[in-house]
Amino acid sequence: MKKRKLYSGRSRKTGLPPGTLVHIGDVPATGATTISSCFYSSAGYSEEHPTNFEQCIIAPGTPGVSWINVDGIHDVDLIKRVGDCYGLHPLVLEDIVNTNQRPKIEDYGDYIFIVARMINLRKDQSIETEQISLILGPGYVLSFQEGIDGDAYPQWSSYQNHGGRLPDLRPD
């Protein structure tokens, strides 16, 4: 049986001011960060896999809900751009890139921040978990995942094929 090391030594975050973005986690900071985007309203929905974050931004006041999913949180520059665009508190951004968070919910007035663990059952029947961070705001949902196989971002085609009630839903 493999023993887990409880103390990993000094953190790369030690001595830095609060709100500094440093990726802390077990998933290697390699590979591409991917972005998925969905917009839904009573008129229907659209799904995209843009090459950059700026292609996901919906004009404020647009009726409907925009869901942006970032898969691979080691790209701290991208996380900072998302935070700047949506006015996210620096400590929220810090919690997103630090994957050693306990599950929690925090109300920031304009949005709700949720951190949880997502459980994936692997093919060899072992269990793997990854941190998922959700931000629910007026007209948008932002989700951030570490990048382990398995996805919290829904399969929108099932709503189209089965007449789901997604267009009537709010971000929460």
Backbone angles phi, psi at 95, to 5 degrees: -65, -30
Strand pairing category for 127-137 and 112-121: antiparallel
Residue 9: per-residue pLDDT: 43
Residue 77: per-residue pLDDT: 87
Secondary structure of 91-151 as H, E, C letters: HHHHHHHECCCCCEEEECCCCEEEEEEEEEECCCCCEEEEEEEEEEECCEEEEEECCCCCC
Q: What is the pLDDT along the chain (172 residues), one digit of tens a residue?
A: 444 444 444 455 555 556 665 656 665 555 677 888 888 777 777 777 777 777 677 666 677 888 888 888 888 888 898 898 899 999 999 899 888 888 999 999 999 999 998 887 778 888 888 889 999 998 888 999 887 655 555 554 455 544 555 555 666 6
All domains in the chain, ordered by first residue: 34-147 (3.30.460.20)
Residue 4: per-residue pLDDT: 47
Residue 10: per-residue pLDDT: 44
Residue 42: per-residue pLDDT: 73
Residue 41: per-residue pLDDT: 76
